[in-house]
Each structure stands twice: as structure tokens, then as C-alpha cells.
């Protein structure tokens, strides 16, 4: 008996001593064991561009500004497959970020929470249509969240963003962990309002028949409150640097296929036609035409600032036909600043130029009163200023953008605002400039814009179109795989509600663009 | 998933096919379904091995062979050999025509849709199908075709999910024991000399350019043969002396 007690004590002793020492051993002293709001905020903010699936580098193919020479790309040839809700799960962390905050920075973090929430749900609904919203984040009570109609989702998004605006405006103190605005609530408030304008403009087709969303009224009041971007300095943008881990993602050391990225006719043709110097900042001249080593017989050597050294490829043409031009170095790669500089060009997620174009469209549509021409020109100027500031002069192919040049450009035949023409012509000017300014920025927006406005029109070639409907560009992503495996009942209800059938199809119009 | 069914499936985006199983082409290019489907099972039906020691007078033969029957995995090696044009079978007339003669001559094997359309539910099951097919006759670039048919590295193509059936001679040794009379003269109690070899022979049913034995079946990449290096062949001489 005694022996048994001793052995029991020994076992208890051993067990307890073991566990404590294992605990010590298993704790990595280089990692934190406690999450803070600041840490969560950093991760969430840097993750804002994780919304594109599968990855951002394909988005320029999706919006037809780049032809990819590696192989036939699905997006470039109009094949859209499954979307993702994955990033909505990040919002669990966003809630924690608010929970961990202190009284002094709670308003800031709460504002950020609503901003991020609005941001992610906006992307998800724009990609797929109806999505779970109300029950999406409450997994404890709703294992099978029901889908909300897109109209309701937009209503909730607008509510969230309005709350974000309120919390940021109440916030007296900056919050930690923000690599973009240094936690400055005013800057975030401006970004929030710009996002609100974008969301409202996305609703443009439903502005008239959906009075309860108050699209025009809300838009007008945001513009009237005027807590908006005042220059490119306010942009919500991702800057890169030559520090390891923060480098420009298109640098050829990380994106090797950048060598076979080729500017498309979609963007190069208008740039050439408008005598737009951004051409020389966006692209590199065709190697074969400026480098004697590659010069084909019978061609004359050109200077990098010669307009003829830039010729877009047709994204809709048979792959091998255009790829031959890449094989002979006749294509225009992205400017060396994208390929060779670790600092690269910042990627804009919400920009001053874009904001001005959105407001110009609102004026043109009579949502607000104002001078559309002024906003339009402000937008163009902002884009030029951004380009000239972010692309160092060694990369500009000897075509410096001067103030005089910008003024002259604004008077150009195609660019000068067609004040005397009809409204549709002017809208097309605005949309074209939005498209030209968006090169390598927030590029899924250009897809949404195209879907809504149809301009600039994406070329369709039934011979090469990989979409099932040969004469169409797909307009949505399919619902994610795990929705059909784990939440099927609700998914089927959502499909029936939207299209009266249980068919999943990339060519069906969702409510917001009907 | 059904009760009692196997849980070791491989699901990938298979080719879109007509009711007879022919691959559907769009503009001469094969099209993948947007929905995953089960194409094979991972686990082998049988893993076997024989180790044998045969002795005849002073000679000893040690033989160990083993193999696997059934079981599938996606072979990234095969896919990337094709995708990059390094596969020996890509060196063919179509490629020659395209590169040397500058002429496209390749027509993918399968069908094309002449009219009609298909509607699917979220699982990819067909709800309504009015498609009418004709044999594919669209001439395309061989390179464009093959780089899609054997898609990029993260997108397994159906034809590269391979049967892992194989057998190999894992070990073969022939040992000669030196007669006592001879060894004792050299003050040794015993001595032997032998030839030994490992991985002398591998036969695989479908895995022609990678070792299916190494198909990442133990780590996180279960079901992926992930550009494995081949098993090395060892050849050696064995001298054993006892005093």
C-alpha cells in the first residue's frame, strides 16, 4: 500500500513536472503569445488585396490590358470559374481586433472593422451575387448561413460604411498597427467615403428603381460633406520598397513571367491615339525595335521614345499568332520600373484620380450638381501626377511629363471634354480615362466597370473565346466549392431566388447589373 | 459522400466531356469543367514484397522485390514535362511543323459543340443539355494546345493522374563465401565477398518518367508526385572478413 502511494506521488510529480517543462519548451520566445489590436490591424489592412482569387497578378489579363505569353490564360480568354468566400473568414479576426482595443483607440479600430467588413462583402457580392451576410459571421448560431439578396447586402454594406465613417469621425486618437495611414482616423474617414462613392456608383443601374437604397441622395450628401481625398497623398495604396518581403511583386525575381507580359491593343491603341505620354511610363519599347541585337532584317532601329516602338497585342486573337510576336521580342513588356525596380510603382486600392472620375459621372448623370469637366480633368491630372511622381525619370523612356504637356493633353482632340456633345460621349470619355489610369491598380474594378458600362468594350472573338457562350464575356464567378458541399440547401435557395432555377452559370446577370 | 464508400478520393477539374467521354473543345482548345469531380482513389489495392535468401554451396543470393497494385496520384513530373515541352513525345511532327515550317497542323482529339448549351447545378450535375457535337476539326498551335492540355503546375490535368502500379528489384546481392581452408591460411575465421545492387530495375504501368514509389503518399502532398528526384541505383562490392 505504501509503495503504491509513493508510486502514485511519483507519477503525479513526474507528470506535473513534465507538463510545465514541456510548456516552456513549446513556447517560441520569438513569437508573441498574445494578440493585440495593432497586430490584427496590420494583418487585416495588408490583407485587403487578398480579395482577388486566385491571385492579383492575373487581374490585368481579366481586364484585357495585358496579354500573357506563357500560355493561354483563362481570364484573358474569358474563362471564369469558382470564386471564394475565404476572405470573409478574416472578419473573425477583425471582430477580435475591436474586442482587444482599449477605450482610447476603440473608435478607430471599430471604424476600421466596419471599413474592412464593407470592403470584403462588397467584393464578394460583386463577384458572385447574393451572398450570406447577416448570418455569415455568426457561425456559432448559424452553421448553414442563409443567403441575403444582393439588394439587402448592398444596404448592409452601405450601413457598415456609414458606421465606419461615424466611428472614424468620433475617433480622437490615432491607432497602432496601420502601415498605410499611420492610424490617422481622418485619412481613414476619407478612404471610407471614397469607398462609399464607389459602392454607390456600382449601384448606378438600380439607382432609379430602388428608392429605398437612396443611392443618389447618399452620394450627394457624401460629396456635400466633402470629407474626401484631396490629392494623391490621400490614396489608399500599397507602397513597395527594397526591403526583403516588401518588394514590388512584379519584379522579375518574383514574377518571372513578367518578361512575357505584353501590353494589349486595348490600352496601347488609345494611349497612342491620344498622344498620351503615360504610354512611356507604363510600357517598355519593343526590344526588337530598339536593341540592335534583336532587330529583324529590314526594320529600322527606333529610339525608346518613338511611338512606333509600341504596338499592342490582340488579347482575343489566337494565342500562337500573338505569341510569335513575343518570341521575336516585338511585344511591349511593362515598363522596366515594374520589372527591374524593387521599389516598383505603388498599387492603388482607392485613388484620388478614380474618385474624381466617379464624381464626374455622378454629375453627368445629374445625381449632384457641379462641373463634370472639372472633376474629369482633376482625375486626369491626378493620374499624370501619380505616374510622374512614382516612376523615376530614368524609366520614362525620355518622355518627361511636364505641366505644359498635361495642359496640352487636356486640350487634345479625344481628351478635351465634349461639353457640347451628348452625355453618352462624355461618359465614354470618363470611362476611358478611368481605364487608362487604372493600369496595375485595383484592377478588378475595371472588370466591374466594364460589366456595368460596357466601355471601353472588351473584344470578343468566338473562335478563341473559352466561355461557354461564345459571343459573351462572363459576368460573374461561380459560388465557391465548399458552399455546394457544406451549405447546399441555402445555396440552392439563393440560386432560385436570383434566377428562378438551380443553374450555376457565369453568364447570368446578377441583380446589381440587370 | 456515401456511407461505406471510400474516403481516399482524388478530385480534380476533369475535362468537359460528351456522353461518350470525348473531350469537348472550344476553339480547338480542350475545356475543363468548372466543377470538381472524383477521378480516382489514392490507396493501392495491394502492396506486396518478397525477400528471399537462396544458398547454393558457397554462394548466397539475396533478392528483395516489391511493388504495388493500384492506387493513383497526380504526377507533376509528367505534367510539367509536357507543359514545358521537355517530354520526349512532344518531339513530333506537329511541333516540327509549327517551329520549323511555321505551320499549325494539330487537331485535338475529341469533339466540339455545334449548337445548344448545357446547364448545371452547383455540384456540376447536368440539369439540361441540348448540346450537339461534331468531331473537333479546328487546327491550332501545338504549343498552345499542349500547354493547356497539360496545364500549369498547380492545375492537375486528368490524364496526369496516373496508376501507381509498379514493381521493382529493390535489392539484389550475390555473396561468395571463401572456403575455410583458404581463409584460415590468412588467419581469418571467415571471409566473404559479394556484389550488391539496389534499385536495379523498375517497371511501372503508367509512371514512365518518375518513381511512383516516392509518390508523396506520406506527407502533406498526399496524392501528389511532386517533381520527385528518381531513386538512386547503388552498385557495390561487399568484402566481409572475420577474425
Query: How far B44 CA lies from chain A's nearest CA (Å)?
Result: 26
Are the beta carbons of A72 and B120 separated by less than 8 Å?
no
**What are the Cα distances from residue A24, in Å, to A11, A30, A121, A255?**
20, 13, 41, 41
Q: CA-nearest residue of chain A to B16? A: A468
Distance from CA of B113 to the nearest CA of A (A): 10
| Burial class of residue A323 (count of CB atoms within 10 Å of its CB; 0-12, 13-18, 19+) | buried
Give the list of residues 6+ apart from residue B127 with CB closer than 8 angstroms, or none: A501, A502, A503, B119, B120, B121
Q: Give the chain B residue nearest A80 (alpha carbons).
A: B34
Residues within 8 A of B (CB atoms), A 16-35 only:
none
* List of chain A residues whose C-beta atoms are within 8 Å of the C-beta of residue B147: 70-72
Q: Which residues contact A34 (CB under 8 A, 6 or more apart)?
A: none
Question: Please, which residues bridge with residue A82 across strands?
Answer: A478
Size of interface A-B (CB pairs under 8 A): 75
Quick one: pLDDT at residue A52? Answer: 46
Give residues 99 to 118 of B whose Cβ lies within 8 Å of A: 104, 117-118
Domains of chain A: 39-227+475-514 (1.25.40.390), 256-339 (no CATH)
CB atoms within 10 A of CB A26: 7
CB A303 within 8 A of CB A398: yes
How many Å lie between the alpha carbon of B122 and the closest alpha carbon of chain A? 5
| Domain limits, chain B | 42-71+164-243
Query: What residues of chain B lie within 8 A of the CB of A72, using their CB?
Result: 29, 144, 147-148
For A381-447, the three-class secondary structure string (H helix, E strand, C coil) is HHHHHHHHHHCCHHHCCCCCCCHHHHHHHHHCCCCCCCCCCCHHHHHHHHHHHHHHHCCCCCHHHHH
- Partners of A479 on chain B (C-beta within 8 Å) are 122
| Minimum distance, in Å, between the CA of residue A504 and any CA atom of chain B | 5
Interface of B with A in 118-157 (CB under 8 A): 118-123, 127-128, 140-141, 143-144, 147-148, 151-152
The answer to whether B117 contacts A468, with C-beta atoms less than 8 Å apart, is yes
Say what percent of chain B tops pLDDT 70.
96
Does A315 touch chain B if contact means CB atoms closer than 8 Å?
Answer: no
First to last CA, chain B: 65
Cα gap B228→B211, rounded to integer Å: 7
Nearest-Cα distance to chain A for B5, in Å, is: 17
User: CB distance B127–A81 less than 8 Å?
Assistant: no
- Residue-wise DSSP of A120-183: HHHHHHHHHSSEE-TTTT-TTT-SSPPEEPHHHHHHHHHHHHHHHHHHHHH--S--SS-TTTTT
Short-list A106, A97, A137, A138, CA closest to A120: A137
Query: pLDDT means per 10 residues in chain A (514 residues)?
Result: 59 54 76 85 83 63 94 92 86 89 92 95 94 90 94 97 96 92 95 97 95 95 97 94 89 90 97 97 96 89 95 94 92 96 93 97 96 97 97 94 96 94 95 96 89 95 90 94 90 95 92 94
Name the residue facing B123 among A465, A468, A484 (closest C-beta). Answer: A484
What interhelical angle do A106-128 and A443-453 show, nearest 10? 50
Task: Decide if B122 and A82 are in contact by the 8 Å CB cutoff.
Answer: no
Q: Are B104 and B97 in contact (CB under 8 A)?
A: yes
pLDDT at B168: 92
CB A158 within 8 A of CB A199: yes
pLDDT in tens, B47-72: 999 999 999 988 999 999 999 998 88
Note whether A290 contacts B: Cβ–Cβ < 8 A.
no
Grid cell 472593422 in the structure block, residue: A113
**Contact state of A478 with B122 under an 8 Å Cβ cutoff:** yes
Interface contact flag, A465 B26, Cβ < 8 Å: yes
The rounded Cα B51 to chain-centroid distance in angstroms is 25
Alpha carbon distance B224, A98 (integer Å): 41
| Mutation target among B9, B15, B34 for the A interface, most CBs of A within 10 A | B34
The CA distance from A105 to A103, in Å, is 6
For testing the chain A interface, which of B15, B23, B27 should be mutated: the one with the most A CBs within 10 Å?
B27
Residue B5 DSSP class: S
Peptide bond into A445 cis (omega under 30): no
**Chain B residues 42-101 with CB within 8 Å of chain A:** 83, 98
Nearest CA distance, A500 vs chain B (angstrom) = 12
Q: Which residues of chain B have pLDDT under 70?
A: 1-2, 215-222
Q: Does the beta carbon of A488 lie under 8 angstroms from any beta carbon of chain B?
A: yes
pLDDT score of B118: 87
Shortest Cα distance, chain A CAs vs residue B116, angstroms: 10
Find out whether A237 and A345 touch, Cβ atoms under 8 Å.
no
pLDDT score at A11? 58
Indicate yes or no: CB of A491 within 8 angstroms of CB of B122. yes
The CA-based angle A199-A205-A209, given to 5 degrees, is 110
Residues 6+ apart with CB under 8 A from A398: A280, A303, A304, A305
What is the structure's pLDDT at A12? 54
> How is residue B101 annotated by DSSP?
S
- Kind plus residue range of the DSSP H or E element containing A11: helix A2-26
**Cβ contact, residue pair A504, B122, below 8 Å:** yes
CA pair distance A452, A439, nearest whole angstrom? 19
Copy the grid coordinates of residue A417.
471634354
pLDDT digits (tens, 9 = 90+) for B186-195: 888 888 999 9
User: Chain B within 8 Å of A82 (Cβ-Cβ)?
Assistant: yes
CA-nearest residue to B26 within chain A is A466
**Residues B147, A465: C-beta atoms closer than 8 Å:** no
Classify each residue of A81-117 as buried b or exposed e, where b means 16 or more C-beta atoms within 10 Å of its C-beta: bbbbbebbebbebbeebbebbeeebbbbbbbbbbbbb
Q: What's the confidence (pLDDT) of residue A49?
A: 76
Distance from CA of A126 to the nearest CA of B (A): 18
The H or E element spanning position B99 is helix B93-99
Contact state of B121 with A504 under an 8 Å Cβ cutoff: yes
Exposure pattern of A468-505 as b/e (b: 16+ CB <10 Å)?
bebeebbbbbbbbbebbeebeebbbebbeebeeebbbb
ipTM reported for the complex, 2 dp: 0.79
In our burial notation (b when 16+ CB lie closer than 10 A, e otherwise), range A343-377 reads: bbbbbbbbbbbbbbbbbbbbbbbebbeeebbebbb
Indicate the residue of B13, B83, B127 with minimum beta-carbon distance to A502: B127
- Cα–Cα distance between A440 and A62 in angstroms, integer? 12
H or E segment to which residue B67 belongs? strand B59-69
Disruptive mutation site among B2, B35, B122 for chain A (greatest number of A CBs within 10 Å):
B122
- Number of neighbouring beta carbons within 10 Å of residue A458: 18
| DSSP secondary structure string for all residues of A331-354 | S-PBPHHHHT-SS--PEEEE-HHH
Amino acid at each position: 500500500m505504501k509503495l503504491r502511494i509513493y508510486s502514485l506521488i511519483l507519477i503525479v510529480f513526474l507528470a506535473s513536472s513534465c507538463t510545465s517543462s514541456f510548456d516552456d519548451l513549446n513556447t517560441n520566445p520569438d513569437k508573441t503569445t498574445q494578440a493585440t489590436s495593432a497586430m490584427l490591424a496590420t494583418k487585416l489592412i495588408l490583407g485587403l488585396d487578398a480579395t482577388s482569387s486566385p491571385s492579383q497578378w492575373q487581374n490585368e489579363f481579366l481586364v484585357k490590358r495585358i496579354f500573357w505569353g506563357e500560355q493561354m490564360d483563362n481570364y484573358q480568354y474569358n474563362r471564369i470559374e469558382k470564386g471564394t468566400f475565404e476572405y470573409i473568414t478574416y472578419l473573425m479576426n477583425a471582430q477580435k481586433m475591436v474586442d482587444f482595443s482599449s477605450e482610447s483607440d476603440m473608435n478607430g479600430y471599430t471604424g476600421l472593422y466596419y471599413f474592412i467588413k464593407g470592403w470584403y462583402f462588397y467584393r464578394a457580392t460583386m463577384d458572385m451575387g447574393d451572398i450570406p451576410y447577416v448570418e455569415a459571421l455568426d457561425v456559432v448560431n448559424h452553421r448553414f448561413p442563409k443567403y441575403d439578396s444582393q439588394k439587402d447586402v448592398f444596404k448592409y454594406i452601405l450601413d457598415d460604411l456609414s458606421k465606419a465613417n461615424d466611428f472614424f469621425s468620433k475617433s480622437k486618437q490615432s491607432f497602432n498597427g496601420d502601415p498605410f495611414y499611420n492610424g490617422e482616423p481622418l485619412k481613414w474617414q476619407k478612404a471610407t467615403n471614397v469607398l462609399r462613392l464607389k459602392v454607390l456608383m456600382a449601384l448606378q443601374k438600380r439607382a432609379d428603381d430602388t428608392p429605398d437604397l437612396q443611392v443618389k441622395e447618399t452620394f450627394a450628401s457624401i460629396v456635400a460633406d466633402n470629407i474626401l481625398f484631396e490629392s494623391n497623398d490621400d490614396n489608399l495604396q500599397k507602397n513597395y520598397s527594397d526591403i526583403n518581403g516588401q518588394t514590388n511583386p512584379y519584379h522579375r525575381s518574383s514574377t518571372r513571367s513578367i518578361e512575357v507580359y505584353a501590353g494589349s491593343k486595348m490600352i496601347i491603341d488609345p494611349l497612342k491615339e491620344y498622344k498620351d505620354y503615360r504610354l512611356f511610363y507604363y510600357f517598355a519599347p519593343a526590344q526588337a525595335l530598339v536593341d540592335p541585337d534583336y532587330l529583324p532584317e529590314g526594320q529600322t532601329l527606333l529610339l525608346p521614345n518613338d511611338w512606333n516602338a509600341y504596338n499592342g497585342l490582340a488579347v482575343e486573337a489566337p494565342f500562337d499568332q500573338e505569341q510569335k510576336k513575343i518570341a521575336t521580342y516585338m511585344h511591349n513588356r511593362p515598363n522596366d520600373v515594374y520589372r527591374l525596380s524593387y521599389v516598383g510603382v505603388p498599387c492603388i486600392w482607392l485613388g484620388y484620380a478614380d474618385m474624381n472620375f466617379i464624381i464626374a459621372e455622378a454629375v453627368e448623370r445629374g445625381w449632384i450638381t457641379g462641373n463634370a469637366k472639372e472633376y474629369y480633368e482633376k482625375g486626369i491630372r491626378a493620374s499624370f501626377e501619380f505616374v510622374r511622381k512614382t516612376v523615376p525619370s530614368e524609366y520614362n523612356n525620355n518622355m518627361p511629363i511636364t505641366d505644359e504637356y498635361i495642359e496640352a493633353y487636356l486640350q487634345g482632340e479625344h481628351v478635351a471634354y465634349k461639353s457640347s456633345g451628348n452625355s453618352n460621349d462624355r461618359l465614354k470619355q470618363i470611362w476611358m480615362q478611368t481605364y487608362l489610369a487604372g493600369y496595375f491598380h485595383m484592377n478588378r474594378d475595371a472588370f466591374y466597370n466594364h460589366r456595368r458600362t460596357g466601355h471601353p468594350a472588351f473584344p470578343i472573338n468566338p473562335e478563341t473565346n473559352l466561355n461557354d457562350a461564345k459571343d459573351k464575356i462572363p459576368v460573374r464567378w461561380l459560388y465557391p466549392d465548399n458552399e455546394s458541399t457544406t451549405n447546399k440547401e441555402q445555396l440552392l435557395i439563393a440560386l432560385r431566388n436570383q434566377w428562378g432555377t438551380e443553374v450555376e452559370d457565369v453568364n447570368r446577370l446578377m441583380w446589381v447589373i440587370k | 459522400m456515401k456511407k461505406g464508400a471510400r474516403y481516399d478520393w482524388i478530385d480534380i477539374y476533369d475535362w468537359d466531356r460528351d456522353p461518350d467521354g470525348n473531350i469537348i473543345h472550344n476553339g480547338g482548345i480542350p475545356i475543363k469543367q468548372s466543377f470538381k469531380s472524383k477521378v480516382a482513389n489514392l490507396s493501392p489495392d495491394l502492396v506486396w514484397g518478397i525477400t528471399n535468401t537462396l544458398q547454393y554451396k558457397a554462394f548466397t543470393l539475396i533478392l528483395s522485390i516489391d511493388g504495388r497494385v493500384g492506387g493513383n496520384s497526380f504526377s507533376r513530373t509528367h505534367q510539367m514535362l509536357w507543359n514545358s515541352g521537355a517530354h520526349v513525345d512532344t518531339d513530333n511532327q506537329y511541333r516540327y511543323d509549327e517551329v520549323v515550317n511555321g505551320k499549325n497542323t494539330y487537331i485535338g482529339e475529341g469533339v466540339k459543340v455545334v449548337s445548344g448549351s448545357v446547364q448545371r447545378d452547383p455540384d456540376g450535375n447536368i440539369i439540361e443539355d441540348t448540346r450537339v457535337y461534331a468531331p473537333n476539326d479546328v487546327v491550332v498551335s501545338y504549343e498552345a494546345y499542349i500547354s493547356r492540355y497539360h496545364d500549369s503546375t498547380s492545375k492537375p490535368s486528368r490524364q496526369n493522374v496516373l496508376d501507381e502500379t509498379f514493381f521493382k528489384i529493390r535489392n539484389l546481392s550475390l555473396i561468395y563465401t571463401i572456403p575455410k581452408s583458404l581463409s584460415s591460411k590468412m588467419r581469418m575465421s571467415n571471409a566473404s565477398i559479394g556484389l550488391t545492387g539496389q534499385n536495379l530495375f523498375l517497371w511501372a504501368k503508367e509512371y514512365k518518367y518518375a518513381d511512383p514509389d516516392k509518390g508523396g503518399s506520406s506527407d502533406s502532398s498526399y496524392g501528389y508526385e511532386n517533381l520527385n528526384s528518381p531513386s538512386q541505383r547503388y552498385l557495390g562490392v561487399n568484402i566481409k572478413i572475420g577474425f
